A and B are shown apart, each in its own frame.
Chain A
């Protein structure tokens, strides 16, 4: 009788076996982190000091200088007075409502994460575009990174590196890097074959093709990827605050536990303002790179 039970019930490992698996994996990972945790932390030290330096820079500069710098940056990227003015007003209001320091902290971690995502993502995207094999390996990894709940990969990161800025940055990058990889790959693959052929026919080396033709022509797509990366990084702010990343996420977390509606709303709006600003700036930059292509 018991032989037929697999028809009605799914065959299952018994609890001891499951426990054994968990114990083995957890144990292995724990001993790995004990063994290498320090050296891995040491590896990230330069990044940590850069993060701290950048945050200090934003926090210690006078508020009007930061706003002016952001406005200039917005104007250079977009050439639009409206957007520039909007950026200045939004940051002034953020400061006016007492969220200046947290916004600077969030901005520093977002900008560093985005920068690292680009530095990591663009080369990965390029290698994916060059080889179908790399693409078939990397694509499922990207799928996992985008769908795996953030809390799940926070566990090993925290186990390895503890709580703080570095694990926060790593978590943000894992969540935010896929779009820039995907769109770099796509952008390069979409480059007009005849244009690339022309470059080859005139004796361009692989590097000359990459930097002279493929990347410039893929730029609108890469910019769209960077834009998505920034947006996703901002979406991670609250989750990252759970592992000790300071910034706009922490007041939101506090509001949830203490039911402070207004505090939560204000900080949430500040995140939205950052998102809109970065989105508009990067999009109008992408649009300007596109203009040359169409010619109109």
Chain B
């Protein structure tokens, strides 16, 4: 996520419009002129599927497109591999203009660049599990021996050992979607399109599949476009999220942005029901400004504390965080002891929390301690702190405009 400006997007959609109806080109002008979807439908009978969509998707990220049914998200994802042709607009994948491909080139493009997972699985009922998984390879004309060995590998990866010769009809929904996932991974395409891939599964299986996808993604680093109507799923999987409403992109950004800075009432209404304790990590709400006391002697500690104008500080040494020390404790120390090193008896035993922990998991520690908790990053360094009031405000029902600013301003 660092220096995004320098990264080149792998997929880029520019000014994309999709209008359904016999005279789409003619109606396009009216849409561009700013007439609303409802007016167009009433006047011309044409449905505006997508309107002025602009997206940049970067390599290696999970990009979630979220919207309710009818918002155009499934239409949008089908533009990436041109299962649906746009009325107007540009689609660029890995530097090549997808709209300019002829039939043969498009076929080759679909075979090698992208694979897709479908909501209702899209498995072929007359082919066995292994044949389904290896379908993409068969289409490419790879010989049976090789496609079966590669297919088997992916079959085992998604946890379907021993199901090779079963038919899809003999499997449960979750297992069928594993077949769908394995089929998509089997062609080794860089881009994975997932159209409501987990929506047809029951909640327990769904979260299991989400875990599996995250786990696989850690290893494979594919670029994934994931469609969902479920915000919890979007927050859980997405590196970035785009919210679609009635064919228009309402907001796009990182999950935290969406949660803490909803662009309009529509997004806010969406976000309201999200369990923030489970969706946000400590890192996203902590305050980075802290007093870090990185010295051995009490005298210098007093100096550092005065400079920071805070009444407590976190004592760190080479091995990391040691404990919290308050101004009060330091003031009670006699001046002649200033050259002594900080004794652990002076420290308050305040536990630390990890920056990537979910808010949910730090609630017990927050309640047990009056002091703000230090937040440690993966290397064990103190990065910031989290105090009760911040947590309470983030987790409370009404995210007012003021409270969104809290993490940055108050300390």
Contacts and interface: CB of A to CB of B under 8 A. Distances in A.
Interface of A: 192, 194-195, 197-205, 208, 212-213, 216-217, 219, 289, 292-296
Nearest to A294: B169
22 contacts: A194-B119, A194-B120, A194-B122, A197-B118, A198-B116, A198-B122, A199-B139, A201-B83, A202-B111, A202-B139, A203-B109, A203-B136, A204-B107, A216-B124, A216-B126, A217-B125, A219-B126, A292-B125, A292-B169, A294-B169, A295-B167, A295-B171
Contacts of B168: 295
Contacts of B118: 194, 197-198
B136 A217 contact: no
Contacts of A217: 124-126
B81 interface: yes
A292 B126 contact: yes
Contacts of B187: 202
Interface residues of B, number: 33
Q: Which of B111, B118, B125 has the most CB of A within 10 A?
A: B125
Contacts of A296: 169-170
B140 interface: yes
B108 to A, nearest CB: 7
Closest 10 CB pairs of A and B: A295-B169, A203-B111, A198-B122, A203-B110, A295-B170, A201-B116, A194-B122, A202-B136, A293-B125, A216-B126
Given A195-B125, A292-B167, A295-B170, 18 more contacts: A198-B122, A198-B135, A200-B83, A201-B193, A202-B111, A202-B116, A202-B136, A202-B139, A202-B183, A202-B187, A203-B140, A204-B139, A205-B107, A212-B138, A213-B124, A217-B126, A293-B167, A294-B169
B62 interface: no
B123 interface: yes
B115 interface: yes
Interface of B: 81, 83, 107-112, 114-116, 118-126, 135-136, 138-140, 167-171, 183, 187, 193
A192 B115 CA distance: 19
Q: Which of B119, B121, B124 has the most CB of A within 10 A?
A: B124
Contacts of A292: 125-126, 167, 169
A295 B176 CA distance: 13
Nearest to B84: A197
A296 B170 CA distance: 7
Nearest to B114: A201
Nearest to A205: B107
A201 B170 contact: no
B107 A203 contact: yes
Contacts, number: 82
Contacts of A295: 125, 167-171
B110 A197 contact: no
Contacts of A205: 107, 139
A203 B169 contact: no
A124 to B, nearest CB: 23
Contacts of B167: 292-293, 295
Given A203-B109, A203-B111, A195 B139 contact: no
Nearest to B115: A202
Contacts of A199: 124, 135, 139
Contacts of B122: 192, 194-195, 197-198
Nearest to B109: A203
Given A197-B83, A201-B115, A295-B167, A208 B125 contact: no
Contacts of B112: 203
A49 B358 CA distance: 82
A222 to B, nearest CB: 13
A219 B126 CA distance: 10
Nearest to A293: B125
A234 B159 CA distance: 53
A272 B316 CA distance: 97
B107 A293 contact: no
A197 B169 CA distance: 19
A216 B125 CA distance: 9
B45 to A, nearest CB: 19
A201 B125 contact: no
Contacts of B108: 203
Nearest to A289: B126
A216 B167 CA distance: 14
A202 B123 CA distance: 12
Nearest to A193: B122
A293 B170 contact: no
Given A202-B139, A203-B140, A205-B107, A293 B126 contact: yes
A293 B112 CA distance: 29
Nearest to B128: A292
Contact of B110 (A202, A213, A216): A202
A200 B82 CA distance: 10
A292 B111 CA distance: 27
B191 to A, nearest CB: 11
A5 B368 CA distance: 108
A219 B125 CA distance: 12
Contacts of A201: 81, 83, 110, 114-116, 193
Contacts of A289: 126
Contacts of B170: 295-296
A208 B138 CA distance: 10
A294 B171 CA distance: 11
A243 B81 CA distance: 58
A284 to B, nearest CB: 18
A216 B111 CA distance: 22
B123 A195 contact: yes
Contacts of A198: 116, 118, 122-124, 135
Contacts of B81: 201
B93 to A, nearest CB: 14
A195 B124 contact: yes
A260 B115 CA distance: 71
A293 B169 contact: yes
Nearest to B118: A194
Contacts of B126: 216-217, 219, 289, 292-293
A60 B107 CA distance: 54
Contacts of B183: 202
